[in-house]
A and B are shown apart, each in its own frame.
Chain A
Amino acid sequence: MKYYFKMAWRNIWRNKRRTLITTASIFFAVFFAILMRSIQLGSYGNMVDNVVQAYTGYIQIFDDKYKGDESIENSIKLGPNMLSEIEKDENVTLALPRLESFALASSGNQTKGVMVVGTDPERDDQLTGLSSKIVQGDFLRKGDQGVLVSERLASYLKTSVGDSVILFSQGYHGVSAADLFVVKGILKFPSPDLDNKMIIMDLPLCQEFYSAPNMISSISLDLKEEKKMNQTVKNLQEKLGDQYDVRSWKKILTQLVQQIEGDNAGGLIMLFLLYMIVGFGVFGTVQMMTAERRKEFGVMVAVGMQKQRLGGILALEMIMIGFLGALSGAVLSLPIVYELYIHPITLSGETAETIMSFGMEPIMPTAWEASYFFSQAGVVMIIVSLAVFFPILSVTRLKVSKALRA
């Protein structure tokens, strides 16, 4: 075998320029594929992290009727051990109960429909970093009687820290809900939608306001490993039973998933085109290598080399070229991908503002996953194998007497 490796290695350097050009084309394909794809996947990861960590969490648990009718009537009764039972799952790091409903908020002469969220401030801060969004006043503490108001809403209502807002709504089982709350802090949400409508308060205060003691709309979960999310959903669904609806963020944020899938498909088409070009390049090289050595192949078969073994040497030559290109592409893209992973590209100007308006950080990080490097290099090796198939087939069908006349 060593002998054939030596032959193949020497053969590929017979025409140095051609080998270097072919290797370079594979190198650039792998290099750009890894860079392009890692930026794309990194951006998706960033989008997901932003959205999931902004509010939803990786998994949410609802009452099974909540999906069709998101009203306070379809809320869950939070048992004393429910959160600790959920947190017993090895992949769950945090369970955050929330009660959400709508209300009419009024301050002075201003009135607006708002979303009221009752939450556990400490847990919410752990999941979403809520305290970091405070731009005025203080963050909530357990037992607080004040509320946090989002910045745009506060501006509309013309309220600031220390002012009061009146909330009117319909509570649990149709009970009317009305109360006056002091504004403890102003929050700024990157998403304009959320920033226009949020009022956040301590969970027991919210339950009291809506006359819904121990009731919650949902439980948001943070996970140790996102990869195990589907299994965790399955485990929790089995554990909690059919009266609950356990959903991953992918089932909740369907628009985001569709947006990512659409963009991902575009990226894959680009990769496909890139690899097609490289594939034909490699195919052309193998064709040339085969055609110009036809007589030599004829001699080798004439003196006793089996055609299959000859095809094997030819395959080995292309695998060596493919391996050189793929390896150098992967290795040289590594430091760049890592650098962009540690220090993502920060966008500025209008692009940044647009991204921020969707509640996302205006950065372009790369994905840093070892498997990705191997898969790209693997794809190139598959392309090389495909490109080599027909020339090898022609070698195995070689007519020796014809080849000797070539």
Chain B
Amino acid sequence: MNIIEIKDLVKIYDDKKTVPVTAVNGVNINFKPGEFAAIVGPSGSGKTTLLNLLGGLDEPTSGEILIDGKQMGNLNSRQKIDFRMHNIGFVFQAYNLIPVLTAKENVEFIMHLQGQSKKARDKRSQELLEAVGLGDRMNARPGKLSGGQQQRVAVARALASKPKFILADEPTANLDSKSTETLLDIMEKLNIEENITFIFSTHDARVVNKARRVITIEDGVVVEDKER
């Protein structure tokens, strides 16, 4: 049973002012639960666009995305936001933590939106921050954390709602080698322990080496899909 099915997905950017750009051109991919997959390709190949489409952050020009058998295209804007909150975790290149919230509050943010109890939030956020090695930095605001630490908080935040899969857009692009290694180890461990699918878009060879499936995309087309 696939957790994600992408069928003939096309995304053309056409703002009527410039020449239309086909960012994703007839992509067909499926993902199973618990995968640790990397989407690789040169800049402008369509990796981020594909991830945005998968996350429901952008609308495809044509094609279908089914998540757990449910068609994303049939959801309205509010339903999509709700769907993301319950099913998808996001890790961004620039961490994008909410600066006025502490590490713990950032992790609890989605649980708040879900209406979880304080007790449940406390337990889960503590567990996740300890899992990413930040049990002692729970009350620090993002400004007081290093880039690597912020990205680990972002991973904890992405996992907080127990999503079906996590989309990570170049998560190691701003990190040094040591932080990258730590982060990848943490993500791999969580992937195995919580059986959550991780899908990365990346340039980073270290991420590619860790991935158990590598999908190469060029000019919006999947040119290689290799499992290890």
Contact = CB atoms under 8 A, between A and B. Distances in A.
Contact of B96 (A3, A14, A299, A305): A299
28 contacts: A7-B100, A7-B101, A10-B100, A14-B99, A14-B100, A295-B96, A296-B96, A296-B98, A299-B90, A300-B109, A302-B55, A302-B57, A302-B90, A303-B84, A303-B89, A303-B109, A303-B110, A303-B158, A304-B81, A304-B84, A304-B85, A304-B114, A304-B161, A305-B85, A307-B77, A401-B52, A401-B58, A404-B92
A300 to B, nearest CB: 7
B227 interface: no
Interface in A272-316: 295-296, 299-307
Contacts of B114: 304
B50 to A, nearest CB: 12
Contacts of A11: 100
A332 B96 CA distance: 41
A306 B55 CA distance: 15
Interface of B: 52, 55, 57-58, 77-78, 81-82, 84-86, 89-90, 92, 96, 98-101, 109-110, 112-114, 157-158, 161
A304 B110 contact: yes
Interface string A78-111: 0000000000000000000000000000000000
B208 to A, nearest CB: 23
Contacts, number: 59
Contact of A304 (B92, B96, B99, B113): B113
Contact-residue size bin, chain A (C-beta under 8 Å from the other chain): 10 to 19
Given A296-B96, A401-B52, A304 B82 contact: yes
A307 B77 CA distance: 10
A306 B92 contact: no
A400 interface: yes
Contacts of A10: 100-101
Nearest to B86: A304
A404 B81 contact: no
A299 B109 CA distance: 12
Contacts of B86: 304
B81 A306 contact: yes
B140 to A, nearest CB: 14
B82 A400 contact: no
Given A7-B101, A14-B99, A306-B82, 8 more contacts: A300-B98, A303-B110, A303-B157, A303-B158, A304-B161, A306-B78, A306-B81, A404-B52
Contacts of B90: 299, 302-303
A306 B158 CA distance: 17
Interface in A152-207: none
